[in-house]
């Protein structure tokens, strides 16, 4: 741009009929939704038959590229956990902060974009809906592997359907395995070997080389498994998810805090009592849309 700012430009194909609706949805929603863990719309063009969306450029691309492109450096466990928290905070804003509430409807790793500091933002609101409007739709929209089975059977998409997709994303971060290649079956098998919330280590991404906190991984996997519960009412809310992940991250910082005269145990603090003081994330930056993102219409399936 003339200001020196780098932006990402998303151009709607001229022969796209469904894309027109998604374009309008994204413009309307992003025009009023603002959060540090959502992409921000810089501007748009809807003239002379050209529909264009302009976002701030997200220099580190999509989460999917970092999980599956072997040419890129492997994401550390700590970074994966922070990305999970970033995404949860963005979704919590959509579910509980926006008025009316918004359901995303297409949470997946290719729709999570990373800025130069590896802060994560939720992207692509083309399928999003205000929860009070159009809750039922005749066709099933979304991406195979992330779709809530309850949504597929009832065709009613709710916040709990977003939470199912988020649970799949958590397991994707843990295992580095593509949800479209049998991830949930792998998770169900691993669940048979877990006892009291431990034993999820077999899911860990081989690229991590064992470099992760076992307690954190088990707590995160236990949370993810609650998110994909077959009964939507038993799934946690996004607010609950943010609280659990914040507690895990805070506990790590507490355990690594240096002390001049006391042991870690002696200077420990009660995480539960400080949970209401959620730390604010710094850095801003926003979004590069990944052309490989494909929306799947399973209405004929």
76: nearest Cα among 191, 217, 181:
217
Euclidean distance between CA atoms 87 and 98, whole angstroms: 15
Domain that holds residue 199: 58-256
Q: Which residues are catalytic?
A: 106
Segment 235-239 mean pLDDT: 98
Find the range with the poorest average confidence among 4-18, 54-68, 89-103: 4-18
The CATH number linked to 188 is 1.10.510.10
Segment 83-93 mean pLDDT: 98
pTM score, two decimals?
0.81
Q: Total domain count for the chain?
A: 1
pLDDT in tens, 193-235: 888 788 999 999 999 999 999 999 999 999 999 999 999 999 9
Indicate the Cα dihedral angle 187, 219, 247, 269, nearest 10°.
Answer: -170
Structural domain includes residue 70: yes
Checking if the pLDDT of 129 tops 90, the result is: no
Structural domain includes residue 69: yes
Checking if the pLDDT of 294 tops 60, the result is: no
Structural domain includes residue 106: yes
Checking if the pLDDT of 279 tops 80, the result is: no
**Amino acid 139: pLDDT:** 73
Structural domain includes residue 249: yes
Checking if the pLDDT of 281 tops 70, the result is: no
Q: Is 240 exposed, middle or buried (0-12, 13-18, 19+ CB in 10 A)?
A: middle
Structural domain includes residue 283: no
Structural domain includes residue 128: yes
Structural domain includes residue 153: yes
Segment 69-98 mean pLDDT: 97
The whole-chain average pLDDT of the chain stands at 83
Structural domain includes residue 227: yes
Q: Strands 102-103, 129-130: parallel, antiparallel or unpaired by DSSP? A: antiparallel
**Amino acid 258: pLDDT:** 57
3-state SS, one letter per residue, for the chain: CCCCCCEEEEECCCCCCHHHHHHHHHHHHHCCCCCCCECCEEEEEEECCEEEEEEECCCCCEHHHHHHCCCCCCCCHHHHHHHHHHHHHHHHHHHHHCCCCEECCCCCHHHEEECCCCCEEECCCCCCEECCCCCECCCCEECCCCCCHHHHHHCECCHHHHHHHHHHHHHHHHHCCCHHHCHHHHHHHHHCCCECCECHHHHCCHHHCCCCCHHHHHHHHHHHHHHCCCCHHHCCCHHHHHHHHHHHHHHHHHHCCCCCCCCCCCCCCCHHHHCCCCCCCCCCCCCCCCCCCCCEECCCC
């Amino acid at each position: 741009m003339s200001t020196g700012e780098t932006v990402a430009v998303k151009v709607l194909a001229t022969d796209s009929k469904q894309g027109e609706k998604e374009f309008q949805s994204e413009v309307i929603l992003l025009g009023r939704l603002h959060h540090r863990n959502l992409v921000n719309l810089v501007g748009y063009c809807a003239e002379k038959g050209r529909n264009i969306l302009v976002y701030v450029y997200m220099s580190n691309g999509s989460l999917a590229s970092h999980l599956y492109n072997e040419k890129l450096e492997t994401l550390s466990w700590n970074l994966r956990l922070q990305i999970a928290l970033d995404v949860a905070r963005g979704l919590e804003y959509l579910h509980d902060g926006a008025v009316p509430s918004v359901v995303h409807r297409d949470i997946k790793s290719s729709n999570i974009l990373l800025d130069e500091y590896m802060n994560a933002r939720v992207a692509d609101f083309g399928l999003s809906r205000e929860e009070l409007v159009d809750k039922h739709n005749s066709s099933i929209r979304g991406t195979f592997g992330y779709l809530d089975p309850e949504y597929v059977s009832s065709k009613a998409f709710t916040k709990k359907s977003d939470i199912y997709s988020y649970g799949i994303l958590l397991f994707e971060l843990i295992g580095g395995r593509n949800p479209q290649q049998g991830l949930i079956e792998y998770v169900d098998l691993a669940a048979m070997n877990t006892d009291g919330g431990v034993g999820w280590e077999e899911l860990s991404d081989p690229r991590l080389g064992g470099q992760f906190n076992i307690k954190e991984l088990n707590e995160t996997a236990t949370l993810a498994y609650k998110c994909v519960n077959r009964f939507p009412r038993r799934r946690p809310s996004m607010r609950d998810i943010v609280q659990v992940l914040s507690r895990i991250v805070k506990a790590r910082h507490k355990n690594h805090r240096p002390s001049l005269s006391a042991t870690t145990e002696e200077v420990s603090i009660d995480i539960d009592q400080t949970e209401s003081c959620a730390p604010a994330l710094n850095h801003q930056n926003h979004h590069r849309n990944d052309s490989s993102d494909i929306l799947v219409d399973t209405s004929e399936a």
